[in-house]
Amino acid sequence: MEIRKLSEFVGAELVGIDAGEVISQNIRKEIYKAWADHSVLLLRNQNISPQEFVFFGRQFGVPIIQTLSDMNIQGCPELAYISSEDRDVHGSGKRIIRGTSWHTDHSYAQVPPKATILLAVDIPDKGGDTEFTSSTAAFEALSEEERTNLENKFSTHAYQSSRSPRPMAIRAAEDEKRYPGDVTHPLVRTNPDTGRRSIYVNTVRTECILDMDREKSDALLDRIYAHLDQEKFQYRHKWQSGDIIIWDNRSVLHKANGDYKGKRFLYRMMIEGEKPIL
Ligand code: SIN
């Protein structure tokens, strides 16, 4: 297995892995370490079936049932999809492009998933890239004073924050019941696999920083988002059909781009994580 870095702070391509094969314990450990170290892993040319994809994903941990159960595959709830045909079926009924602003998956959960895995099936000729920004590199690039200002603070995350730059799809009643109410997470979390710390925020979910005046909290969140939005911390992935990407929701934020025409379809799995720790 060869590991080729994709950018300075985030992403590596793994060469020499066939996701359709059973992966040995040793190689699995190496892949897991590469994933924790680089935050985003890319495997090209993996033309595997949805069943093989589920088998591949299970080798990295326990899959979770993803929210928006209407987009889960019938009979295999741990497998979902992201499609250009997605619709807000419990809301306006209109087409929606999900994920188009910086976020980390399911941060409204007490225990958000550590990994998200996508398998690209149909990819438009132009556009539809996914961008990643390293919230670890962004934290480490702050001055000591700026780091101290964020440490030991907590924020609330909601399914849809009042600050969200985009409307979220309305959830089915049973999906809402699985994640009732807001949750509190540290603003800076430690990744237990690397010991490194990252800024843990979400432009669609983070409502406010606790024990802070609302105006000050809004201003600090805006500064954090601007800091994370710098190209130097980022990797932009141009999809090819057969790509698998596995990212670490603890150390990167990601966003989709809706700038395409035609069909886009990817399968998605999420792997159980741990409660964010200081
Ligand atoms: C997501 O936010 O999980 C989807 C990313 C994408 O469609 O590129």
Low-confidence residues of the chain: pLDDT under 70: none
Domain enclosing residue 20, as ranges: 2-271
In-domain check, residue 277: no
Could you report the per-residue pLDDT of 181-200, keeping only the tens digit for each? 999 999 999 999 999 999 99
> What local confidence, expressed as pLDDT, does residue 243 receive?
98
Whether residue 176 lies inside any domain: the answer is yes
In a domain, 53, yes or no: yes
Quickly count: other Cβ atoms within 10 Å of residue 263's Cβ: 13
Maximum CA extent, the chain: 53
- Return the percentage of the chain with pLDDT > 70, whole number: 100
Q: Is the pTM of this model over 0.85?
A: yes
Q: Is the CB of 164 under 6 A from ligand 1?
A: no
**Residues 6 or more apart from 28 whose CB is under 8 A from it?**
59, 60
Domain presence at residue 168: yes
Give the number of domains in the chain.
1
In a domain, 216, yes or no: yes
Per-residue pLDDT of 97-109, as tens digits, reads 999 999 999 999 9
155 inside domain: yes
Q: Is residue 97 part of a domain?
A: yes
Residue nearest atom 4 in ligand 1 by C-alpha distance? 99
Q: What is the rounded CA–CA span in Å between residue 127 and residue 182?
A: 34
pLDDT of residue 39: 98
- Report the CATH number that the domain containing residue 200 is assigned in CATH: 3.60.130.10
Average predicted confidence (pLDDT) for the chain: 97
Give phi and psi for 55, each to the nearest 5.
-60, -40
Whether residue 97 contacts residue 196, with contact meaning beta carbons closer than 8 Å, is answered with no
99, 256 Cβ separation under 8 angstroms: yes
In a domain, 93, yes or no: yes
Q: Tell me, in angstroms, the distance from the centre of ligand 1 to residue 236's CA.
A: 12
pLDDT at site 205: 98
